[in-house]
Homo-oligomer: A and B are copies of this chain.
Amino acid sequence: MARKAEKIKIIPLGGLSEIGRNMTAFEYKDEILILDCGLSFPEDDMLGIDMVIPDITYLIKNKDKIKGIVLTHGHEDHIGSLPYVLKKLNVPVYGTRLTLGLVEIKIKEHKLNNVHLQRVEPGDKIKLGEFEAEFIHTSHSIPDACAIAIHTPLGIIFHTGDFKIDYTPIDGQVMDLHRISELGKEGILVMLADSTNVERPGTTMSEKSVGATFDDIFRNATKERIIVATFASNVHRLQQVLDAAHKYDRKVVTSGRSMINVISVAQDLGILNVPEGLIIDINEMDKYDDNKIVILSTGSQGEPMAALSRMASSDHRKLDIRPGDLVVFSSSPIPGNEKSVTRVINQLFEKGAEVIYDRLAEVHVSGHACQEELKLIHTLAKPKYFIPVHGEYRHLRQHGQLAESLGMPKENVFIGQNGTVFEFGKDYGKTSGNVQSGRVLVDGLGVGDVGNIVLRDRRHLSEDGLIVVVVTISKDTGKTLAGPDIISRGFVYVRESEDLIGEARKVVRVALDGCEQQNIREWSTLKSAIRDSLKDFLYGKTKRRPMILPVIMEV
């Protein structure tokens, strides 16, 4: 009977039913293994927020159980929360070369000490208490990505990480399908798999196909400067740009902090192969003709502060866009970034550049598996239970349906939310309650100090602005000594609306007089009287509802 009680808990703390912020805890007896530690970018309604990290209250409570953090790859949505988490939980971190290379940049930025990073190679197995984490090479839009097989006393848990199946990867290292096949034969208890592209039929194109497009573009660009914007972390993409530059006898200038950082790290690690003298300093650029230059830049998502956006809006210190420049967006917009990207594209066209982007040519491929690739992984791994991960709710549902279409019983598919506890024994799987989870907002130095009330106020202020009403009253008599003064911001432009503000002042005075006549001295009542009278007056005049802040001073 003791055996029967044995169980594994799988607890997603981020990344389920939403994009980003991936983090999952695996718990067996009194041991916890953490897989990934990502951030997500703020939603539209999270005004002023810089990033979002997972709520790790549950982990902090169970601090002593944690054996380590295992990282699948180096994207922000898998490693971005690490500095914040390590401040609370100083546990060892395991990852491959580039993953740790990128982690180290973050650790330096956050000035963290005593961080225990341990580099692993694909194929390595790391003993973490009763867990054994096996790193399995995959393909993704960043090198050194891995799936993780977690060997436990109850069976194997297989997490695909983010992956695609690329039969012709740039580094020649095909995803280790053999090992996944072996594990499948051995028997996988639970699989967690990437759901990002589950809506897309067919297969994702090979990274190599982008190289063919680059070759075309470079061959035909006999006069122009070429500017390529892409994700810095897509090192194989960078390699292909460098290769094309080298082949067509162009020098490469790099722009954007993350681009420069990643190239340096990847070059040091031997992941990026840069021929001697190919990359030149930005200040050397003028020595070369336009058709001898490639600029490799950040900003492929239209981020306002990134290098390409600055060039497009004539706001870059050293680079400008000139008529005839050929700009390549080697990317596709992340959902939510569509308008920012098209804004930059339009600006570039207006400056006389030619712009090539994903709608016009094959300058980008996804890093995630489409339906046919997912079917292959399900077939090879043939897990008993399945938890779709890494997707919005609609993706998880559709990934569940895909598993069912391959013969998995509906009741073996588990779809949950962050904080859901999925419990598995040798012969069963179920959800069993929830742990605390959620989003922690990071704004400047503040971690978690901006909550719903602050966001609600920011939203209110952003829509209709603000009216501050200040009045000084006598402590003795209750009579108004100064004011009411009215200050508005973000409501109407005051110089053009002096009448409105003048009338508003009268409305407040009438309200205060009313209170005085009724001998009302209570601040809260006075404030309500001001707020109510003004709210109705302004709505009647403008159909707007600015935030009204009454301030009463007593002397």
Interface residues, chain A, with chain B CB atoms under 8 Å away? 17, 43-44, 47-48, 199-200, 335-336, 338-339, 342, 345-346, 349-350, 355, 359-360, 392-394, 397, 443-446, 449-451, 453-455, 457-466, 468, 470, 472, 481-483, 485, 487, 489-493, 496-497, 541-544, 547, 549, 551, 553-555
Contacts and interface: CB of A to CB of B under 8 A. Distances in A.
Among A346, A445, A549, find the residue whose CB has the most chain B CB atoms closer than 10 A: A346
Contacts of A463: 47-48, 458
Number of identical monomers bound together in the oligomeric complex: 2
A72 to B, nearest CB: 24
A429 to B, nearest CB: 21
A17 B468 contact: no
B472 A482 contact: yes
Contact of A346 (B393, B451, B462, B482): B393
A555 B543 CA distance: 35
B461 A543 contact: no
11 contacts: A17-B346, A335-B339, A349-B394, A443-B464, A445-B544, A446-B492, A449-B492, A453-B493, A458-B462, A460-B490, A466-B466
Contacts of A544: 48, 443-446
Contacts of A446: 492, 542-544
Nearest to A17: B346
A493 B454 contact: yes
B492 A394 contact: no
A462 B492 contact: no
Contact of A47 (B43, B345, B397, B462): B462
Contacts of A43: 339
A48 B462 contact: yes
Contacts of A338: 335-336, 338
A478 to B, nearest CB: 14
A355 B489 contact: no
A202 to B, nearest CB: 13
Given A393-B350, A554-B482, A465 B458 contact: yes
Contact of A492 (B392, B450, B466): B450
Contacts of A555: 472, 481-482, 555
Contacts of A455: 490
A555 B459 CA distance: 35
B472 A553 contact: yes
A491 B496 CA distance: 29
B542 A454 contact: no
Contacts of A48: 462-465, 490, 544
A451 B542 CA distance: 15
A17 to B, nearest CB: 7
B462 A462 contact: yes
A490 B457 contact: yes
Contacts of A551: 468, 470, 485, 487, 551
